[in-house]
Chains A and B, each alone.
Chain A
Amino acid sequence: SYELTQPPSVSVSPGQTASITCSGDKLGDKYASWYQQKPGQSPMLVIYQDTKRPSGIPERFSGSNSGNTATLTIGGTQAMDEADYYCQAWDSSTVVFGGGTKLTVL
């Protein structure tokens, strides 16, 4: 079965750029979505189709996808961005989620 691998944790200082990776075999040939989940809340879509931001998502969130790696980048990270982030892709007609990355804003 298809797998997506994320680092368990990433730390960033306020105002700096955070990058969260998601790796999978030929992931660049698929589309990646990213979800933010804060404690006690449901996931929220922040990036879809590799690079697109839903309405209401700040411009500091951006995405890329090439080769075997998709990347979520948060520029000028704020304390409110501290959360778990999950990547997601499709393998045929099956939804696959990455294991999640806890972003800590120190």
Chain B
Amino acid sequence: QVQLQESGPGLVKPSETLSLTCAVSGYSISSGYYWGWIRQPPGKGLEWIGSIFQSGSTYDNPSLKSRVTISVDTSKNQFSLKLSSVTAIDTAVYYCARHTAHTTVATRYFDFWGRGTLVTVSS
């Protein structure tokens, strides 16, 4: 069974960089699939942040693109998120998830999710 586990600081100061890691077990990142980050502000809906393939190729939400860096470490079977210049509106539960890598992008879907980690931006 594929399992994903987010880790990182639960509190980040405004203007600093949020850094999270997602450890994957039960499946090798090198075997395929995309690996993504999604966030959910308290009491609100889901927002996709970006995704990365095993090769390191990424694509991001245009609304966040300039602040987002997603990387993958196949040797540790994990991938990471960095979100720079955070403000209070970046306070959210951050989820990592796996999504399929069908040739036709429109057919892709998120099939496994981590439990999420709450990150609060506050001084």
Contact = CB atoms under 8 A, between A and B. Distances in A.
Interface of A: 1, 30-31, 33, 35, 41-45, 48-49, 54, 86, 88-90, 92-100
A49 B99 CA distance: 13
Which range contains the number of B residues in contact with the other chain?
20 to 34
29 contacts: A30-B106, A31-B106, A31-B107, A31-B109, A33-B109, A35-B46, A42-B95, A42-B114, A42-B115, A43-B46, A43-B110, A49-B107, A54-B111, A86-B45, A88-B109, A88-B110, A89-B106, A90-B106, A93-B105, A94-B48, A95-B38, A95-B51, A96-B48, A97-B45, A97-B46, A97-B47, A97-B48, A98-B45, A100-B45
A54 to B, nearest CB: 7
Given A49-B107, A92-B105, A95-B36, 5 more contacts: A31-B107, A43-B46, A45-B110, A95-B61, A98-B45
Contacts of B116: 42
A88 B109 CA distance: 8
Contacts of B108: 90
Contact of B46 (A1, A86, A90): A86
B45 A94 contact: no
B70 to A, nearest CB: 13
B59 interface: yes
Contacts of A98: 45
Given A1-B62, A97-B47, A43 B109 contact: no
